[in-house]
Structure 1
Amino acid sequence: MTHYAHLWLFFAVVFGVIALPGLDMAFVLGSALSGGRRKGMAAVGGIVAGGVCHVTMTALGIGMLLKLIPGVFNAVLLAGALYIAWIGLSLLRSTSGFDASVSPVVRPQRATFWQGMFTALLNPKAYLFMLAIFPQFLRPAYGALWVQALVLWGIIAITQFVVYGGIALTADAVRAWLKQRPSSNMLATRWVGILLIAAALFTGVEGWRGI
């Protein structure tokens, strides 16, 4: 396999993983629906930045340490799932729908960025990917490993930006439509809350089984 074919294969795998619903996608969706496009893109930026930490941790072997100490990995897994579940519960308890002035999940863009990064760092799917898949695409025959890791991270970052950015823009358009229809707004708020809680439960259960 040529190096370019190797990279295309990695992109295909990454796209499949990122396109699957999970904590990161749920956070971007909730941020964009509650705070609009800017908040959604701030969430995307934080998640992309979290990817830098994942690659760095893998290079330093910290990811393997988490795998070898189940208690630490379980704590990270549950913290991420509980955080997204809290956002979902907040939406279920909201009495105003996706209203930026009162929504409990709205926060300044800078804070949203850091929360997105925090969510990415608590995402068990990311750790499982970095432990099981990422190292398989580092080949000494293709040059310095740190350069390869940088290129692979670039592929991850671009894919995250395209997929999650598309979700943020779509959610912002839906938010504008819902604001004109109060009854639909509240119904959508409840459904998104349920979806976030379901995503948290699914991620937590599946991630725990994957340990």
Structure 2
Amino acid sequence: MITLPDLLVFVAALTAVYLLPGPDMALVLSTSAFRGPRSGLMAAVGLAISRTVHVALSALGLAALFHTHPVLFDVVRWFGAAYLLFLAWKMLQVEKTEGFASANTTGKGLEAIRSGVMTNLLNPKALMFCALLLPQFISTEHDLTAQYLTLGAILVGLGFAFDALYALTASRLAKRFSGSGTMQKATKLMFSTIFGFAAIRLAIGGN
């Protein structure tokens, strides 16, 4: 079984990662700021789904396939970079009139889930992160499935908790500054720049 000290170290490592700015955080913040808290939480659900997939793929050893076949890694990496550039462009297209009035429609919520899944799933480094981190806390002397389920649940659950916090915080800040056109333009530019920078970093980051 996984010992309590190992679990604490695992949680601490995840906390440090989830506190670092990145495309996942930017997606939740921007979605919540421009579409409202519900859509922000839906984006968080999409990220949780993708992280669950990454944990499963890591357990199946498919991350090793990326390592032994760099071309596959590069294909996913380029698709991920292209998708982040698409998000950057889409962010710039958000009209000033769009915001909390249209935040709670089902379509936008489903779109937010899809964006969350795609943003994380098309980042092969997220899969490699799971593949490198989880085995450090796995003991071959005990049930591997139970250990992966435990650690995977913590990884996904803690990530969702942070994303939900970011979504609610961004929503409150957006409401406070909703009357400022200048602030909205600055926010759009900031998030589109973050997505663009993340795309470039992913594209040229190599293996």
Given the two structures, how large is their TM-score scaled by the length of structure 2? Answer: 0.88
Provide structure 1 residue ranges, at least 5 long, that are not aligned to the other structure.
Answer: none
Is the Cα–Cα contact under 8 Å of residues 21 and 199 in structure 1 kept in the other structure? no
Q: By how many angstroms is 1:200 displaced?
A: 2.3
> Relative to 1, partners in 2 of residues 1:33 and 1:204: Cα closer, same or farther, differing over 3 Å?
farther
Provide structure 2 residue ranges, at least 5 long, that are not aligned to the other structure.
Answer: none
Q: By how many angstroms is 1:146 displaced?
A: 0.6
Matches within 5 A, 1:144-159: 144-159=143-158
Is the Cα–Cα contact under 8 Å of residues 43 and 115 in structure 1 kept in the other structure? yes
Tell me which amino acid in the other structure corresponds to 1:88. Answer: A
Greater shift in the superposed pair: 91-100 or 64-73: 91-100
Equivalent residue number for residue 196 of structure 1 = 195
Equivalent residue number for residue 15 of structure 2 = 15
Give per-residue Cα distances to partners, 1:95-150, cap 9 Å, x unaligned: 527536799xx952123213212222112331221222222211123x21110001
Q: By how many angstroms is 1:94 displaced?
A: 4.3
Cα distance in structure 2, aligned partners of 1:169 and 1:102 = 17
Q: By how many angstroms is 1:24 displaced?
A: 1.5
> Relative to 1, partners in 2 of residues 1:80 and 1:132: Cα closer, same or farther, differing over 3 Å?
same
Give per-residue Cα distances to partners, 1:178-202, cap 9 Å, x unaligned: 3211222122211221122122222
Is the Cα–Cα contact under 8 Å of residues 98 and 179 in structure 1 kept in the other structure? no
Matches within 5 A, 1:42-57: 42-57=42-57
Q: By how many angstroms is 1:59 displaced?
A: 1.6
Give per-residue Cα distances to partners, 1:77-106, cap 9 Å, x unaligned: 122222122211222354527536799xx9
Cα distance in structure 2, aligned partners of 1:18 and 1:99 = 26
Cα distance in structure 1, aligned partners of 2:119 and 2:92 = 20
Aligned residues: 204
Tell me which amino acid in the other structure corresponds to 2:149. Answer: L
Cα distance in structure 1, aligned partners of 2:58 and 2:92 = 37
Tell me which amino acid in the other structure corresponds to 2:167. Answer: A
Cα distance in structure 2, aligned partners of 1:75 and 1:108 = 29
> Relative to 1, partners in 2 of residues 1:114 and 1:95: Cα closer, same or farther, differing over 3 Å?
closer
Matches within 5 A, 1:46-195: 46-96=46-96, 99=99, 108-141=108-141, 143-195=142-194
> Relative to 1, partners in 2 of residues 1:29 and 1:125: Cα closer, same or farther, differing over 3 Å?
farther
Given the two structures, how large is their TM-score scaled by the length of structure 1? Answer: 0.86
Question: Helix, strand or coil: the match of 1:139?
Answer: coil
Equivalent residue number for residue 31 of structure 1 = 31
> Relative to 1, partners in 2 of residues 1:200 and 1:101: Cα closer, same or farther, differing over 3 Å?
farther
Cα distance in structure 1, aligned partners of 2:176 and 2:21 = 23
Greater shift in the superposed pair: 84-93 or 9-18: 84-93
Tell me which amino acid in the other structure corresponds to 1:203. Answer: L
Identity %: 26
Is the Cα–Cα contact under 8 Å of residues 54 and 130 in structure 2 kept in the other structure? yes
